[in-house]
Amino acid sequence: MKRRTFIRDLISSAVAAAVLAPSQAHSRPASQRVSLRYLRPPGALAEEEFLSHCIRCGQCSEVCPNRCINFFGFENGLSSLDTPYIIPREQACILCMKCGSACPTGALKPIEHEAQAILDQVSMGRARVDTSLCLSYQGKTCGVCYRACPLQDIALRVGMLEQPHVLAGCVGCGLCERSCIQIPQAIRVIPNREGA
């Protein structure tokens, strides 16, 4: 094989792999596309509408003081490429509401940085406690998740031995999950991608 033919074939293979990989990721069913549990930033529209409005500009991440907003590569399919997401266990949302103000298209709705506005308009997910993992349910007082919650006694309250109880006011910021000292974490936010 001549060197020129070898190099041409090598480049052709690389281009074909780059072109086919995203289309194959996109062709997989949504349930198989991503293995991680992620949240959309606060104020995100319902998933399909969010994907059609988001222009992948990255401004939401640039203004985030907590640096919790990441962007998808091809792992969640071509339609999610470069869209923002949050992994609460890695870095949770502090509900500053700056991302929605920075969004130029309304994919993330602007929301006032006030408790009532946040309760009315943010629905990232809802925390769920695994009582078999939670130290407070095992007879050891903890309460770390409660102290991390920005909406104490609205989203999360504690009972005997600081046992956490998730309330209707939970907006899914993930600060409870991020702060949980158990491995694996005893409290997790289950995403809501239907929008607020």
Q: What is the pLDDT of residue 172?
A: 97
Q: Mind spelling out the 3-state secondary structure of the chain?
A: CCHHHHHHHHHHHHHHHHHHHHHHHHHCCHHHHCCCCCECCCCECCHHHHHHHCCCCCHHHHHCCCCCCEECCCCCCHHHCCCEEECCCCCCCCCCCHHHHHCCCCCECCCCCCHHHHHHHCCCEEEEECCCCCHHHHCCCCCHHHHHCCCECCCEEECHHHCEEECCCCCCCCHHHHHCCCCCCCEEEEECCCCC
Mean pLDDT computed over 37-61: 96
What global pTM score does this model have?
0.79
pLDDT tens digits along 86-110: 999 999 999 999 999 999 999 999 9
The chain-wide mean pLDDT, for the chain, equals 87
